Amino acid sequence: MGVRALGIVKKFFPKVTNVVDGTKTIIIEVTKKDADTAARRDHGGCAMAVACKRKLEADGVIMSVASAYIVKGKKATRYRVPESVSREIVAFDRNAYFEPGEYRLVKPSPTEKLGARRGGNATTPGAGKKRKGYNHFTGGIRATLKES
């Protein structure tokens, strides 16, 4: 369980040996100082990451537009990043200001938890078929963390 998540975290924090899902939603206050000292396109240095590290007394943080990992010692705790935070991250990475305020990191839903089975019922029409068309990837922001 969580082999891919552990691989992602180890790229940034090689000493981490365990990744777990957050068990409750947490509220993080991003201050003006956090926003002023933050680094653009940096998973560990954006305003939200700086605020998380300060509030949670973490050794490190990995913040993407979809997931966040809070690192303490050899353990990383994974949270989902809600759309409100994702929009701020995208704007910040594109040279806008990260608006100070209260933001949330959300515990993963049962279907998003590490080790949860993904995919649909094999008897569903169209199951297993590749989707046709163009996938848009947002440019000008930090790289996406690959989990699945």
What Rg, from alpha-carbon coordinates, does the chain have? 16
Report pLDDT for 20. 97
The DSSP code sequence of 38-100 is --TT-TTTSHHHHHHHHHHT-SEEEE-SSEEEEEETTEEEEEEPPHHHHHHHHHHHTT-----
At residue 70, what are phi and psi to the nearest 5 degrees?
Answer: -105, 120
- CA–CA separation, 120 and 80 (whole Å): 21
Report pLDDT for 115. 84
Report pLDDT for 121. 59
Contact 119, 148 (CB under 8 A): no
Does the pLDDT at position 141 exceed 80?
no
**Per-residue pLDDT tens digits for 84-134:** 999 999 999 999 999 999 999 999 999 999 988 766 555 555 556 666 665
Strand-strand pairing, 18-21 and 26-30: unpaired
Which structure tokens are listed for 57?
Answer: 């007394």
pTM confidence score: 0.81
